Amino acid sequence: MLYLALKAALSGMLIAVISEVAKRYPGIGGMIASLPLVSVLGMIWLWRDKPDVENMASHVEATFWFVLPSLPMFLLIPWLMRNGISFWLALVIGCTMTIALYSAMVAIGPRLGLRL
């Protein structure tokens, strides 16, 4: 239980640091957020819990493929906001589009030979 709390606290601290930096320096906050720190932490936690080469390789490969459908959201939300859509509605629209793209990836990826 202590290990789970440590993982949650460290992961939460990362989000807190990003939001605090972004208040003052939006570009640097964006750069930190774009770093695959959460993915790297996830890999570390997974490897510690289950040090299996094939499982880790599959996880990292799937992470790559699932990053791709999330990228359009980061262009859509600012575009919507700059065109008069409120932040919350833009966020909902961006997240909805991302869910649709993830669903498409899950449906189409295996047909293309992707191991998700």
Q: Which amino acid is at 55?
A: N
Instruction: Name the pLDDT band for 25 (thresholds 50, 70, 90).
Output: very high
**CB-based burial label for 1 (10 Å; 0-12, 13-18, 19+):** exposed
pLDDT tens-digit series, residues 39-62: 898 899 999 999 999 999 999 999
Residue 64 has pLDDT above 90, yes or no: yes
Q: What percentage of residues in the chain have a pLDDT greater than 90? A: 75
Domain ranges of the chain: 1-51, 53-116
- Annotate 55-76 with DSSP letters as a single string: HHHHHHHHHHHHHGGGTTHHHH
d(CA 76, CA 95): 10
* Residue 103 in tokens: 């669903």
* DSSP run (H or E) holding 39: helix 37-49
